[in-house]
Amino acid sequence: MCRSAGKPEAAKLWFRKAIYAFATLGDMAAQLFTLSNLATLFLDLDRLTEARQLAEQSLAIKKDLNSTASEIWLTYRVLGAIAEKEQTTASDL
């Protein structure tokens, strides 16, 4: 909600709170999904290093889940977009 309202800092805070809550509850599927959403937020803000770290963290969690529950395609989409932005940035130099 905050993300679409143009409040990325508020969205970041809520995503992090949700990630913590899901980790505490042991809801790995929800944690994975929220990590991917936060990675997408950082990607949109061109904070590629942070986006990659979050996407990789979600992949690590994915190892303990089956592929249908984890919606792993979201993470791969984020990693693909990060690679594309990194390539564009490198070619601009």
User: What's the rounded Cα separation, in Å, for the pair 39 and 57?
Assistant: 10
**80 in a domain, yes or no?**
yes
Q: Which domain holds residue 36?
A: 31-92
**15 in a domain, yes or no?**
no
**14 in a domain, yes or no?**
no
**36 in a domain, yes or no?**
yes
- Count of structural domains within the chain: 1
6-53 tens-digit pLDDT: 788 999 999 999 999 999 999 988 998 899 999 999 999 999 999 999
For residue 23, the model assigns a pLDDT of 94
70-81 tens-digit pLDDT: 567 778 889 999
**57 in a domain, yes or no?**
yes
pTM above 0.75, yes or no: yes
For residue 5, the model assigns a pLDDT of 58
**Residue 92: C-alpha distances to residues 3, 60, 83 (Å):** 28, 32, 14
For residue 1, the model assigns a pLDDT of 43
**78 in a domain, yes or no?**
yes
**10 in a domain, yes or no?**
no
**9 in a domain, yes or no?**
no
For residue 4, the model assigns a pLDDT of 54
